Amino acid sequence: MNPADSDPRVLVVDHCRTVRNLVMKQLREVGFDDVHEAADGDAALRMLLREEFGCLITDLKMPGLSGLQLVRSIRAHPRLKRLPVLLITTEASREHVQEAVTLGVDGFLVKPFSAFQLFKKIQRAVASNIAA
Specify if 24 maps to a domain. yes
- The residue segments making up the domain with residue 20 are 8-60+85-90
Residue 53 neighbours by CB distance under 10 Å: 17
Residue 41: phi and psi, rounded to 5, are -65, -35
- Contact criterion met (CB below 8 Å) for 10 and 54: yes
Q: Which one, of 106, 101, 68, 54, lies nearest residue 85 by Cα?
A: 106
Our count of domains for the chain comes to 1
- Contact criterion met (CB below 8 Å) for 42 and 66: no
Specify if 44 maps to a domain. yes
Q: What is the CATH number of the domain that holds 25?
A: 3.40.50.2300
Specify if 126 maps to a domain. no
- Contact criterion met (CB below 8 Å) for 61 and 68: no
- Tens-place pLDDT, residues 19-33: 999 999 999 999 999
**pLDDT at position 131, please?**
60
DSSP string of 4-72, one letter each residue: HHH---EEEE-S-HHHHHHHHHHHHHTT---EEEESSHHHHHHHHHHS--SEEEEES--SSS-HHHHHH
Q: How would you write 70-121 as a 3-class SS string?
A: HHHHHHHCCCCCCCCEEEEECCCCHHHHHHHHHHCCCEEEECCCCHHHHHHH
Specify if 102 maps to a domain. no
Confidence of residue 130 (pLDDT cuts 50, 70, 90): low
- Tens-place pLDDT, residues 56-84: 999 988 989 999 999 999 999 999 999 99
Specify if 75 maps to a domain. no
> What is the pLDDT averaged over residues 77-97?
87
